[in-house]
Structure 1
Amino acid sequence: MTPSSPKSRTAAGLPPITAAKVAAAATALTARKGLDGWSVRDLAGELDVYPAVIYHHIGGRDAVLHAVTERVVAQMPCPPADLPWRDWFTEFLCEGRKVLRKYPGVARRLYLAGPTVPSAMRIIDRGVTVLQRAGFGDEAVDIYSYLVGTGFLHVDLEDERAERVEERLAARDAFLAHGNREDTPGLAAMASQLSTRGRTPAQIVKDDEQAFRYIIDLCLDGAETHLG
Structure 2
Amino acid sequence: MTKGARRAYKTGLSRGVIVEAALGLTAERGLDGWSMRDLTGRLDTSLSVIYHHVGDRQQVSAAVIDRIYGAMDLRLDEPDWRTLLHGILSQIIDQMSRYPGTATWLLRNGPQTEQLVPSLDAGMSRMLEAGWGAEAAIAFSVAFNTCLGMIALGDQRASAAGEQGMTGLQTLLAAQPEPGPGAQEMLRMVRRYVAGPAERDAAHREQCRYALDRMLDGMADRLDVIKRAAG
The TM-score, its normalising length taken from structure 2, stands at 0.84
Q: Which residue of 2 aligns with 1:161?
A: 157
Q: Which residue of 2 aligns with 1:44?
A: 40
State the percentage of identical aligned residues: 30
Question: How large is the Cα RMSD of the aligned pairs?
Answer: 2.2
Q: Which residue of 2 aligns with 1:78?
A: 74
Greater displacement, 161-170 / 27-36 = 161-170
Q: Which residue of 2 aligns with 1:193?
A: 186
Aligned-pair CA distance for 1:162: 0.9
Asked if 1:123 corresponds to 2:124, the answer is no
Where in structure 1 are there 5+ consecutive unaligned residues?
10-14
Aligned-pair CA distance for 1:53: 2.1
Q: 1:154 to 1:49 in 2, by over 3 A?
A: same
The TM-score, its normalising length taken from structure 1, stands at 0.85
Match for residue 61 of structure 1 among 57, 60, 85: 57
C-alpha separation in 2, matches of 1:176 and 1:136: 47
Match for residue 210 of structure 2 among 204, 214, 228: 214
Does the CA contact (< 8 Å) of 1:79 and 1:88 recur in 2?
Answer: yes
C-alpha separation in 1, matches of 2:183 and 2:211: 17
Q: 1:138 to 1:45 in 2, by over 3 A?
A: same
Counterpart of 1:174, as a letter, is L
Q: 1:23 to 1:212 in 2, by over 3 A?
A: same
C-alpha separation in 1, matches of 2:9 and 2:217: 59
Does the CA contact (< 8 Å) of 2:9 and 2:46 recur in 1?
Answer: no
Does the CA contact (< 8 Å) of 1:179 and 1:191 recur in 2?
Answer: no
Q: Which residue of 2 aligns with 1:6?
A: 7
C-alpha separation in 2, matches of 1:132 and 1:144: 11
Asked if 1:133 corresponds to 2:129, the answer is yes
Q: Which residue of 1 aligns with 2:173?
A: 175
Aligned-pair CA distance for 1:8: 6.2
Q: Which residue of 2 aligns with 1:16?
A: 12
C-alpha separation in 2, matches of 1:155 and 1:59: 27
Aligned-pair CA distance for 1:138: 1.7
C-alpha separation in 1, matches of 2:72 and 2:173: 37
Asked if 1:145 corresponds to 2:141, the answer is yes
C-alpha separation in 2, matches of 1:226 and 1:53: 51
C-alpha separation in 1, matches of 2:205 and 2:87: 13
Does the CA contact (< 8 Å) of 1:76 and 1:95 recur in 2?
Answer: yes
Greater displacement, 199-208 / 45-54 = 199-208
Greater displacement, 75-84 / 103-112 = 75-84
Q: Which residue of 2 aligns with 1:203?
A: 199
Where in structure 2 are there 5+ consecutive unaligned residues?
none
Does the CA contact (< 8 Å) of 1:179 and 1:189 recur in 2?
Answer: no
Greater displacement, 190-199 / 135-144 = 190-199
C-alpha separation in 2, matches of 1:210 and 1:57: 38
Counterpart of 1:6, as a letter, is R
Secondary structure in 2 aligned to 1:116?
coil
